[in-house]
Amino acid sequence: MRLLIQNGYVIDPSQGINTGGNVFVEDGRVVGLSNFSDGVPEGAEVFDATGLIVAPGFIDMHVHLREPGHEYQETIGSGAAAAVAGGFTTVCAMPNTAPINDNAAVTRFVIEQAERAGLANVFPIGAITKNSEGTELAEMGEMKDAGIVAVSDDGRPVPTAGIMRRAMEYARGFDLPVVDHCEDKSLARGGVMHEGHWSLVLGMHGMPAAAEDVDAERDCLLAELTGARVHLAHVSTSGAIEAVRRAKEKGLPVTCEVAPHHWTLTDEAVQDYDSNTKMSPPLRSQDHVDAILEGLRNGTIDAIASDHAPHHADEKALEYDQAPFGIVGLETAIGLALDRLVHPGTISLERLIELCATNPARILHLADCGTLRAGARADLTILDPELTWTFDAAQSKSKSRNTPFDGYTFRGAAVATIVGGRLVHLRPDYARIKSKTVKAFAS
């Protein structure tokens, strides 16, 4: 298939491109960029991107797809559908499945299921330790051969510095980044929200910011000791961000991501006891939100990731302290970024694309993604920064509906998602493209 994405405004930080132009795609690969005046290549379908931003495909580094083992919450197919509906061409699946992705067989299963779905690219992240129990290292080399792009024990943080040091040294040998959920369980155990004013008012056990800070400092020190690539997941505290900033100043291979709910909401949102405000790390106080916004502005934070964590409605219907942690986020992340970061002027569109495409590809060494260079995979996210829309969780592509953003109205959205040169999602309320062309792309 030949495809010309015509008359859009192309932003590709990987090449320093920020200009109007066309993108030509053939056989699932980017052929190159051309000027508006260039004609339509013979036999090419045309996507009219007038007034739209054309970007490299967005990559979500941190999602939970629940399969195998918890398919009632999400499947790889439904999660991939939610991803492309939200504008993500690629997602990285955390290993906390049942069984845990701590071996090559589970890794291959995840990849095969994603290929069957035929929507988003899915790259598995393997476990650091066997069964994520924090004692014996998993077979990272076998998992890498099978297709993992990083290792993490996700919500079960590696419990000791000694084990983490060995994990970093082992992972370095396979050139795999170590992704850590920074939480000292001895400080946070039993907590259900941020420890502070609102936990005191609401009478709920808190999770202190220090629990995240301690592990973030530990990981940065161990990165210096081992030379391993270390990525801190969903940072939520000013202390963790400061640890990353200092590590970067030393030239250490330390990166971090932030989730949209952590710059959008504060712990004040918990006062209604809505379990859709319960996540780990928890919603923090305004001073931590301000630190995240500053980290997004000044470059300390490298990536935006949704931490998409689906749960069945019956599970989230439990009392707050009994309900599971986590919310879905694949379909609201880009809307929140455009509405709450780009439009207020906190970051530019180019910086957003860097956070969502260029940097995740760099961190995970996905040389074929996050760029519109000639020869790269034709994965593209097409944005309308001005489109006003309201998120209806009942219409979500995900199997779960646990979100605090149901009914939110956003300014800005991903309107089309192209994976491997094929249009895999077009907003149903969007009519910039002729119906015959939609049919041709979808075939």
Residues with catalytic function: 307
Helices H, strands E: what count in the chain?
15, 17
DSSP structure class, residue 97 = S
* φ/ψ (deg, to 5) at 254: -115, 130
The half-sphere exposure of 165 on its side-chain side, counting CA atoms within 13 A, is 9
Q: Which residue has the tokens 């300014």?
A: 411
* Look-up of token digits 């302290």: 321
Question: Distances in Å between the alpha carbon of 435 and those of 119, 199, 440?
Answer: 20, 53, 9
Two tokens at 180?
């850590």
Single-letter residue type at 337: A
Helix residue ranges, H only, 118-259: 140-146, 161-173, 185-188, 197-202, 209-226, 238-249
Does residue 100 come out as left (phi exceeding 0), alpha (psi in the -120 to 50 range) or beta?
A: beta
Q: What torsion, rounded to 10 degrees, do the Cα atoms 230, 148, 54, 442 define?
A: -160
Q: Which two tokens stand for residue 110?
A: 């995840």
Asked if 33 and 16 count as a contact pair (C-beta separation under 8 A), the reply is no
Question: Whole-angstrom Cα distance, residue 401 to residue 392?
Answer: 10
Nearest one of 309, 249, 302 to 82, comparing CA atoms: 309
Identify any residues that bridge with 416 across adjacent strands, giving them in sequence order.
382, 426
Say if residues 171 and 223 touch (Cβ distance below 8 Å). no
Relative orientation angle of helices 238-249 and 209-226, to the nearest 10 degrees: 20
The dihedral built from the CA positions of residue 397, 403, 406 and 409, taken in this order, carries a sign that is negative
Tokens at 393, concatenated: 């969780």
Alpha helices (H) along 75-118:
76-85, 104-117
How many residues in total does the chain contain? 443
Q: How far apart are CA 67 and CA 113, in angstroms?
A: 9
91: left (phi over 0), alpha (psi -120 to 50) or beta: beta
Read off the amino acid at residue 434: K
